[in-house]
Amino acid sequence: MSVRAMGYGYLPTQLASRLALACMAAVLLAVTSLAAQAADKPSGPRPETTPELLSEGQSVYFRRCSFCHGLLGDGEGPAAEYLDPRPRDFTLGTFKFRTTQSGELPTDEDLFRTISRGLPGTGMQAFDAALIKNGLTEQERWAVIAYIKTFAQEFEDPDLDPVKTGKLVKLPDARAPFNADTVAKGKEVFKKAKCWSCHGMLGRGDGNKEFRKDDWGFTIRIRNVTHAWKIKAGAEVEDIYMRFSTGINGTPMPSFVKSLSEEDRWYLANYIKSLQHKLTEHQVLRALHVDGGVPDAPDANAWAGAEPMDVRLTGQVIAAPRWQNPSIEMATLRAVHNDKEIAFLLEWDDPFKDIVHKQDEAFDPKEIRKVGALSSYVASDGMVTRKLEVFPDSIALQFPVKPPNGTKKPHFFRGNSSDPVQLWVWKADLEGQGMRPVAEAIARGWRQPPRPQAEDKQQVSAKASWDQGRWSLVIKRPLTTPDKSDVQFAAGQFIPMALNAWDGSNGEHGLIMSLSTWHYLFIEAPTPMRVYIYTLLAVLVVGAFGVWLARRVEREAGKA
C-alpha cells in the first residue's frame, strides 16, 4: 500500500497539528505513575507470526503508531518534527531499551514491555489496555510488534537473534538491599566510573557544558537522574541496573558490563535511586513567619525551616507559538515573611547557565515567521520545531491583581482583560550586571505582551545563583503596597500563584515556555497572646477540677 494511498499525500495542516497535539498529550500521559504499573510480561506465550497476524499488526500500526514513527517505520511521521526525543526509526534496527547486550537487538518481550508501559518523559505513551481506555489488547500488541520487526532486516537473520545466541542480560541472583551502606558504596562507584562527567556530581545532567548528539545526529540532553519521571525505561533499581548493563544503543550511554562487576552495578543502581527527588503532594505554600528581616540570599539559614512545595510545569500549547518540549518541568518553592516583607525561594534544575543570547550558526532567516511580537521557528500550524536559538534563562511568579472571590481566578495563562495578573519576571542576563534583574508587569491575556509597571512602582528585588545544574532565586517584596495593580499579601487568605519558566538553551523565550496551573500561598495570621493565656487558664482550671474530683472520690471511698 502506498504512502499516498494511506493518506499522507492529503494530510491537511490542521490535522497534522492535531496529531502533534495528540502526541503532546501522550507526553503528559507517559510521565504518570500508571505507565510504571503496566505489566512487564505478557500473560501468555507470543503468538506465531502468520500473514493474518502481520495484517492485523499493520492495521494497528497505521492507526496508532504511524503519526509519529511514519508509515515506512523511518521515524518521520507528521508529528515527529515536534517531538523531543524524536520517534524511533525502526528501519535501522537500533533499539535503546533492552535486556540484551550492548549493540544487540531487543527480545520480543523487551518490545512488549516498551509498548505496554510506554517511555516516561517522551511521546511514547503506554498502550496496555489495562491502563488506558483506548489501549491495545495483548493480541494487538503482539501483532504490531510482529509488523514493526518487518521494517528492519536484522530481525530476519537467526544469527542476530539474542535469545538463540545467548546474548541476554539478567538481573543478579544476589541483590544487595537498598540501604545507607549500599547507597554509599554506589556513590563511590559513581565517582570511580566517572558517571559525573556526563550526569554531574549531583546527577542533574550538568556534567557536559554542551549538548551531545545521538547516532541519528539529533541533539540530546544528558539525563537528569534526580527526576524519576524522566527516566525513560523505568526508575526502579532493577530498571536502572539493566541500563548500566545493556547500555542505551544509539546514545552516549555505554554498557558497564566489562568495566564494573555485577555487584558494583547493583550498588550504583541503588545510589542513582537514592538521588531521585520525592515530589511533594500539597498545592498550598505556607509562608513561614520569621523574626527579624526576611532572607535575601538563597543560602540563608531561614530557608531550612520553610516548608517546600513542588510545582509541576508543562509546555505552553494553548496559543501559537505552541511549545511541546519544555525543559523546566518542576520548580520547588519556599516562602518566609515577617510583619513587613515576604520572600520566595525558587529552585529549579537547569544543566546550563544561560545568560546571553547566542545565535544559531546554522540559522536560516527564511525559516522565521512572525507571530505577534515574536520571531521564532514556527510552522504554519503554530507548533515550534526543535531548531532554536539560545536565550537567557528566566522565570516568573504570577498572581491575580484582584483579590480572590471564592473559587474564581483568572486564567492561569496570563489572565485576561477583565481579570489581569501581575508577573514578577526575573531574567538571568540582568543578574549581577548592575541592573534590576526582576521587574513587575501586568498581563491582560496572552495576546499582548505584559506591560511593565512604572519604575517608581517597582518594589520587588531579587538575588540568584547557579550551581551544579540548579538555579536558586530569592524574590522579595513588601507584604502590602499602595499600588492597586499589586498583589497584596494579607494573612489568613489563600492567594493563587503560578509559574512561567524559560530555559534559554532549550530555545525558550516569549510564549515558548513552560507554565503551571494555579497553586496557593497561605500566610498564617499571628496567634494573639490572649489565645495562649486563655489556653493556659483552661488547662489550670481543668487540672484543678480534676484534683478536686479525685479527692472527693477518695473521701467518699473512705466513708464507705
**Domain at 490, CATH number:** 2.60.40.1190
Q: Which of 260, 278, 296 is the last residue of a domain?
A: 278
As a whole number, the mean pLDDT across the chain is 87
**Same domain, yes or no, for 56 and 185?**
no
**Who wins on pLDDT, 370 or 553?**
553
**Same domain, yes or no, for 293 and 371?**
yes
Task: Tell me what the mean pLDDT of segment 109-130 comes to.
Answer: 94
**Under DSSP, is residue 442 helix (H, G, I), strand (E, B) or coil?**
strand
Which residue range(s) make up the domain with 448? 284-523
Q: d(Cα 272, Cα 236) in Å, to the nearest integer?
A: 9
The least confident of 21-25, 328-332, 412-416, 502-506 is 21-25
Task: Mark whether 148 and 244 lie in a shared domain.
Answer: no
Domain boundary among 233, 262, 278: 278
Closest CA to 323 of 285, 275, 379, 276: 379
What is the domain count for the chain? Answer: 4
> Are residues 189 and 336 both part of a single domain?
no
* 515 and 540 housed in the same domain: no
251 and 114 in a common domain: no
What's the pLDDT at 372?
29
Q: What pLDDT shows up at residue 534?
A: 66
The whole-angstrom separation of Cα 243 and Cα 260 is: 13
Average pLDDT on 325-329 reads: 94
Q: Tell me, rounded to whole angstroms, the distance of Cα 421 from its chain centroid.
A: 25
- C-alpha to C-alpha distance for 183 and 371, rounded to whole angstroms: 50
User: Which residue, 237, 252, 278, sits at the end of a domain?
Assistant: 278
Count CA within 13 A, CB hemisphere, residue 465.
8
Q: Are residues 407 and 316 in the same domain?
A: yes
Domain match, 381 and 471 both: yes
Whether 352 and 478 map to the same domain: the answer is yes
All 3 cell numbers of residue 541? 482550671
Q: Across residues 436-445, what is the average pLDDT?
A: 96
* Predicted pLDDT of residue 34: 42
> How large is the average pLDDT for residues 86-95?
95
Most confident of 185-199, 205-219, 384-398: 185-199
Going through 290-420 in order, the beta strands assigned E by DSSP cover 309-312, 314-315, 330-337, 341-349, 369-371, 374-376, 394-400
pLDDT in tens, 172-186: 999 999 999 999 999
pLDDT at 361 over 70: no
Digit-coded pLDDT (tens) for 445-504 = 999 999 999 999 999 999 999 999 999 999 999 999 999 999 999 999 999 999 999 999
Nearest Cα to 143, choosing from 237, 61, 33?
61
Residue 187 shares a structural domain with residue 208: yes
Specify the higher pLDDT residue, 230 or 526: 230
Residue 231: exposure state from Cβ atoms within 10 A (0-12, 13-18, ≥19): buried
> Do 175 and 162 have their domain in common?
no
Mean pLDDT of 232-252: 95
CA–CA separation, 455 vs 453, rounded Å? Answer: 6
- Rounded mean pLDDT, 4-33: 41
Judge if 186 and 163 occupy the same domain: no
CB 104 within 8 A of CB 161: no
- How many Å is the Cα radius of gyration of the chain? 28
